[in-house]
Amino acid sequence: MTVELPDESASACRWAESYRALGLAVIPARGREKIPLGGWKEFQNGIPQAVHDRWYGESGDNRANCRMGFLTGAASLGNGWKLLVIDLDEKGHISGSATWNNWIADNELGCEPETWRARTGGGGQHIYFRYPDYLSIRNTQETFTGIDVRAEGGFVIAPPSRHKNGKAYTWLFSPFVTELAEAPQWLLEKVGASETLPLAAVPSQSSALSPSLSPAPPTAPPSQATDAWGHIVDGRDAYMRDMIWAAIVDWYRECPIPPSSREVEEKLLEVFAIYERKVRPQDADNTLDDEGRGLAAFRDKWTYAMRQWDNKVAAAAKEKEKVADSIAADDTAPPASPSHSDDPVDLWSKLSPPVLPTGVLPRQLEAFAFGQAEQMGADPAGLAMAALAVCAAAIPDRVRIKVKRHGHWYENARLWVALIGTPSTKKSPITSQTVRPIARLDGRLVRKYVADKARYDNLSKDERKDEQPPRQRRLRLEDTTIEAAQEVLKDSADGLLLVQDELSGWFGAMDKYNSGGRGAAKDRAFWLQSFNGGQYAINRVGRGVSLIENLSVSMLGGIQPEAIAVVAKETVDDGLLQRLLPVVLQRASVGKDAPALGSTERYEALVEQLNTISISGTASFGNSRDDADCLTLYFSDEALRIREELEARHLALMDIEGIHRKLASHIGKYDGIFARLSVVWHCVLNINRSVIPPEVSAETAAGAAAFLHDFLLPHAAAFYTSVLGPSSEVEELQGVASYVLTAGLEVITMRDCQRGIHAMRSLDRWQFQRLMERLESLGWVSQIDPPKNSSAPRWVVNPRVHDLFKQRAAEETARKGKVKTAWQALSAMKEK
Query: pLDDT value at position 832?
Result: 55
Mean pLDDT per segment of 10 residues, for the chain of length 832 residues?
A: 72 89 89 71 82 84 83 90 92 81 75 86 91 87 78 90 85 89 88 60 32 33 41 56 85 81 87 78 73 82 83 80 58 42 72 84 90 91 96 95 93 96 92 95 93 92 87 88 86 93 84 50 85 86 78 94 86 84 91 78 93 62 50 93 92 75 90 97 89 91 93 90 75 86 89 80 80 83 82 87 87 80 73 58
Taking the C-alpha atoms of residue 425 and residue 797, their distance in angstroms, rounded to an integer, is: 43
Q: In what order do the strands lie in the sheet with 410-412?
A: 410-412, 399-402, 631-635, 695-696
| Strands 94-95 vs 581-584: parallel, antiparallel or unpaired | unpaired
Do 506 and 479 form a contact (C-beta atoms < 8 A)? no
276 closest CA partner among 300, 301, 293: 293
pLDDT at 512: 53
pLDDT at 113: 82
Residue 387's closest CA among 441, 432, 445, 443?
432
DSSP class of residue 46 equals: -
Q: Any idea what DSSP says for residue 635?
A: E
Query: Which residues in 469-549 belong to E strands, given as ranges?
Result: 476-477, 496-500, 536-540, 544-548
φ/ψ bin of 252: left (φ > 0), alpha (ψ from -120 to 50), beta (otherwise)? alpha
Under 8 Å between Cβ of 298 and 236: no
330: CB partners within 8 A, 6+ apart = none
Q: What are phi and psi of 495, to 5 degrees?
A: 90, 165
Measured in whole angstroms, the distance separating CA 280 from the mean position of its chain's CA atoms is 28
Q: How many residues does the chain have?
A: 832
Amino acid at 747: V
Q: How many Å from the N-terminal Cα to the C-terminal Cα in the chain?
A: 62
Contact 231, 280 (CB under 8 A): yes
pLDDT at 673 (0 to 100):
97
Asked if residues 425 and 588 have their Cβ atoms less than 8 Å apart, the reply is yes
What pLDDT score was predicted for residue 207?
31
Q: Is the peptide bond before 160 cis (omega within 30 degrees of 0)?
A: yes
Q: Determine the Cα–Cα distance for residues 133 and 816; give it in Å rounded to an integer.
A: 51
